[in-house]
Amino acid sequence: MLFNSHVFLLFLAVVLLVYYPLVAKDARAGKTWLVVASLFFYGWWKWSYLALLLGSIGFNFWLARFITAARGRGGSTGALLSVGVAANLGLIAVYKYAGFFAESLNWASNWGLPVPQIILPLAISFFTFQQIAFLVDAARGEAQTKSPLDYLLFVTFFPQLIAGPIVHHKEMLPQFGGIAATKISRNLTIGITIFILGLFKKVGIADEIAPYADLVFDAAAAGQAPTFFEAWIGALAYTFQIYFDFSGYSDMAIGLGWMFGIRLPLNFFSPYKAVNIIDFWRRWHITLSRFLRDYLYIPLGGNRLGVPRRFINLFITMLLGGLWHGAGWTFVIWGALHGLYLILNHGWRKLLPARAAGQPATRTGRALSWCVTFLAVVVAWIFFRSADLSTALTMLAGIAGVNGVAVSAEIARALPLDTASLGLVVKEQLSLLDSSKPVWLVIGLLWVVVLAPNTMELMRRYRPALDPSRVTMGEKGWVYDWLTWRPTRLWAFLLACVGLYCLLNLARLSPFLYFQF
């Protein structure tokens, strides 16, 4: 069930109409209803995998209780924790990576292993990581498992179940334990506002730019060599598609949480404004970065064992972070690239201790740092989006100009440049992109992601999200103050118009990109 669908909006209305009368009388009844609704939401996609989700929850809940009991007796928890982590990773390995491993072994050894064709269970990476963190913290004495109902809701709460954020028990269980029917009007108003803004990002922006990315990448996958401008438009189109797709989902999840009086953690905060790759990862998929830091990077030794070991730990963490996103060598390379980017960034800070704060001193320096960071991210996205390594290499050849530098006549007229003096070949029509529309879309969206306030800044009066990475939401000047959301008639009118536009465009079903992970 997609957030951007009519059936989900109907589902949401029913859940809310039943939830508030129930929770007003009995909090436990309200939570039970939310669990039932969340399981229905998950099962709508594939009912047979509902048993897998419930089995995973039951196994981890009872194992956490055994771990807690063993710790209470002063016994060892290492064996139980090892069993739990191995079982959870084994579940992901079977359903998500079995085919990838078999294909890789066949390629390397010609063993001829059968390649299993398994449908990936929705959200398996998200709910598995949440529960691994819970088991680890139970072994540390930092997690308690008193209420099976609260634990069920912690894992299945439908606003975050499918594509995150990867919530932490310390943030969510206290909220579920104190759930109540209070401030209903305020919660619904703020929640609906954030939800509509997120829905517009998905329906009005991500889905509008997506066809241009698909056109170029699909052509490259089919063996066609995109020219310089076609490759850049395709790469930038995907760069903005995944930005607004993930930003939209993150907003919608936070808005849905507010509708039930629950604050979810911040997962996205204008990552394309970052002036270095360290800052990028403080802003992109924030809860995944937190998980990788707390449960992989730090246990590997973090930065405690010297600079060389720190860089190795960074690289391993990002390599596995890439593999978490998908079972394919393109995802591994994407993770490896970001690992190298982080190593270079930290190495640069070591060479220039005065820049350890991460912010270039001059405006020119900040602009140059932003350009380098953004271009590095775009190059990595090419691997992330490509169907295989051959497609990625074809796209890289295109953006390097190896496949020729040519523009269509319409694009040439739209560009504020003298194409002849630049040595550009002007053709009446290009094989892939001959319209100037994607050019203007890319230019416009670039300005938006760099200059416009994000949803959390628009709603900052209400602190709409928990902030696990402590991303600063400092003062932005009078323009941001003027744009800050307030419950006024003007805002209500604008949101009604945006909401109506989204409703009229929901017939074009388009899954969120992160649903596949």
Q: How far is CA 515 from CA 214, 246, 432, in A?
A: 17, 10, 28
Structure tokens at 332: 């591994």
Q: How far is Cα of residue 354 from the mean position of the Cα atoms in its chain?
A: 32
Q: How far apart are CA 320 and CA 341, in angstroms?
A: 15
Q: How far apart are CA 167 and CA 287, in angstroms?
A: 7
- The active-site residue, picked from 168, 169, 285, 325, is 325
Find out whether 20 and 31 touch, Cβ atoms under 8 Å: no
Q: Is the dihedral of CA 113, 118, 124, 128 positive or negative?
A: negative
Phi, psi at 450, each rounded to 5°: -90, -35
Give SS3 for 478: helix
From the CB of residue 225, how many other CB atoms can be counted at a distance below 10 Å?
Answer: 16
- With residue 426 as reference, give the H or E element that holds it: strand 425-427
325 included as an active-site residue: yes
Give SS3 for 68: helix
Structure tokens at 17: 């109409």
R_g of the chain computed on alpha carbons: 24
Structure tokens at 457: 């800044």
Residue type for position 397: A
Nearest CA-CA partner of 406 in 425, 386, 383, 429 = 425
HEC readout, 343-361: HHHHHHHHHCHHHCCCCCC
Nearest CA-CA partner of 399 in 426, 419, 380, 417 = 380
Q: Is the dihedral of CA 340, 341, 346, 347 positive or negative?
A: positive
Structure tokens at 217: 């990448």
- Residue 466: strand pairing partners: 265
Q: How far apart are CA 171 and CA 465, in angstroms?
A: 11
In b/e form, how buried is each residue of 160-169, taking b as 16+ CB within 10 angstroms?
bbbbbbbbbb
Q: How far apart are CA 64 and CA 72, in angstroms?
A: 12
Nearest CA-CA partner of 505 in 7, 9, 8, 4 = 4
The residues that are catalytic are: 325
